[in-house]
Amino acid sequence: MNWYLKVLKQYTDFSGRARRKEYWMFVLFNIIFSICALLIDVLIGTSFEMNGINLGYGYIYMLYGLFVFIPGLAVLIRRLHDIGKSGWYILISFIPLIGGIWLLVLLVTDSDAGNNKWGSNPKIGDDEIDMLGKA
């Protein structure tokens, strides 16, 4: 949960690096909270319908999606920086089939050892998560 909160606190930080653990913990909690938002939409009856078919998602899900869009984009770009790639590599996801697979491979790739042009390796030195709230 601390990794998720760290990403939300750094929602405007598109520079620097984000290690794999930070990115994937954010993705995990994002999936959990998205499912909760879907369930709440269905339970309170705010989910959208199309041609009489309940789509499942509604206003709460959409608000949550808007809330985490910028932080999710920022951590994705920082994750690409961690492996030595530009944030513009996010655009490879628009290549049909292969682009999404290629981006997934990049996201699971281990960090560049040492420094790169986006900063020092976040795995080395003090653990960032222990520094939360102390600055």
Encode the chain (135 residues) as per-residue pLDDT tens digits.
Answer: 888 888 888 888 888 888 889 999 999 999 999 999 999 988 888 877 777 666 777 889 999 999 999 999 999 999 999 998 988 999 999 999 899 999 999 999 888 888 888 888 787 765 555 555 554
According to the model, what pLDDT value does residue 107 have? 92
Alpha-carbon 17 to chain mean position: 13
**CB 83, CB 106: distance < 8 Å:** yes
- How many CB atoms within 10 Å of residue 55? 13
For the entire predicted model, the pTM comes to 0.80
According to the model, what pLDDT value does residue 128 have? 54
Which residue range(s) make up the domain with 30?
2-131
- Split into its structural domains, the chain has a count of 1
Angle, helices 59-82 vs 20-44, to 10°: value is: 170
